[in-house]
Structures are given as structure tokens and as C-alpha cells.
Chain A
Amino acid sequence: DGGITQSPKYLFRKEGQNVTLSCEQNLNHDAMYWYRQDPGQGLRLIYYSQIVNDFQKGDIAEGYSVSREKKESFPLTVTSAQKNPTAFYLCASTMGFLNTEAFFGQGTRLTVV
């Protein structure tokens, strides 16, 4: 079955450590996105990528980094520079503008202790 896989579902890290969240899709989608969701709040865009080897900052990119070396993969690294990293992270993908239903992964809940 086609879809988006985020791993792990729950992640605990010590303060000051970098951590990488995985996002893989087998939908052959061109565009991929990372969103952050805080309790009781909406989704804020961190980074997005329209094609391989290219990505753009979203609204809250500070303290995060991404790479897009393969079409199917868009990992997100939460660096020690992110002051408040505990949140729920969602990855999404779309074929492109003309076919734009966005598919979402199940999310990764990151807790920094």
C-alpha cells in the first residue's frame, strides 16, 4: 500500500542533543512538507521541498534542518538550537500543484527532557 511512513512514533531525547525524524513516502510525490503541532494549536510549516535537492524554509525553520537527497525521503533534524523542541511533528507529501491532496504520516511525538 502506498503512503507516508514516519518513524519513530514516540521519541525521547535529552536537552542539547540533535535528533533526526524520518519521513518516507512511496507515492512518487514530488513535494514534501514538515509541520509542527503544539498542544491545542494548529500546524506550522517548518520546511518544504518541491523537488529533489531543493527545499525552502517555512514559517518556523530556525533550529531545524532538512535534506532531500532522494525523492521518497525528507528527514528532519531538530538541532540543539531549537529552544522548545517538544512537539508533535507531521510529515506530508503532494504530487504537485495540479494534484494536491496532501497525504500525511502518523506523526512523531518528540519529547525533550
Chain B
Amino acid sequence: AQKVTQAQTEISVVEKEDVTLDCVYETRDTTYYLFWYKQPPSGELVFLIRRNSFDEQNEISGRYSWNFQKSTSSFNFTITASQVVDSAVYFCALLEGSASKIIFGSGTRLSIRP
């Protein structure tokens, strides 16, 4: 069965600190996609990244970086030099090819203190 675990319910750091949000997934499929979404207080989910199961290359986009490791079934998200505007709930999600449905983790609420 597919499952996404975000063990960190809430994280609070001071501005400019680096912070890593963990995501561990379970799947029996060899073909799947992983996602990260940001949910600001307005409620709408904002797409951050998609990674397919055949591409383990890490990705960096500005202050954001993602570390995908199939050996540990993890897809962690790091924010470097955090800013107050990064405060939001972040969701990790999994899409299996066989299931054709997107399953979300429970989310991590990130608070960046000035």
C-alpha cells in the first residue's frame, strides 16, 4: 500500500536558519512521482517540485533544495537561509502509476520567527 509519512508535525526556527523537512514514502511500484506543495494561510496549495522515481538527482531552486534517496525511501526538502515568508504548511505527496491517485502526508507546519 502507498503511504507518505511526515514525522515532523511542527517546526519553528529563527529567520536565516536552515531547515529540513523530512518525507518518507512507501510504495510497491517501480514507477511513481513524488511532490512537495506549500500551503500558505490562504489555503491554496502551491506546487514546488515533482520528481519521478527514475531520477534521483538532487535539485536546487534558489534557497530550496530537495534530496531524493530511493535507498531510504526519502524525499527531504531543505530551505536555506529561511525567511518569514516561508512560514506555511508543507506537504509531501506520492503518485503511483498503478493507483493513479495522489496521496499526501499529514504535513509539516513551518514557522519562521523574525
Mark A residues whose CB is within 8 Å of B. Answer: 31, 33, 35, 40-45, 48, 50, 56, 58, 88, 90, 92, 94, 97, 100-107, 109
Nearest B residue (CB) for A107: B43
Closest chain B residue to A56 by CB distance? B101
> Judging by beta carbons under 8 Å apart, are A42 and B102 in contact?
no
A31–B95 CA distance with the chains assembled, in angstroms: 12
Q: How many residue pairs, one in A and one in B, have C-beta atoms under 8 Å apart? A: 57
Would you call B50 and A100 a contact (CB within 8 A)?
A: yes
Check if B103 is an interface residue, CB within 8 A of chain A.
yes
| Cβ-neighbour of B33 out of A31, A48, A100 (below 8 A) | A100
Task: Check: B35 CB closer than 8 A to any chain A CB.
Answer: yes
- Number of chain B interface residues as a range: 20 to 34
B55 at the A interface (CB under 8 A):
no
- In the complex, are the beta carbons of B106 and A41 less than 8 A apart? yes
Is there contact, CB below 8 Å, between B107 and A45? no
List B contacts of A88 (CB < 8 A): 43
Q: Which residue of A lies closest to B100 (CB)?
A: A50
Q: Is the CB of B102 within 8 A of A33?
A: yes
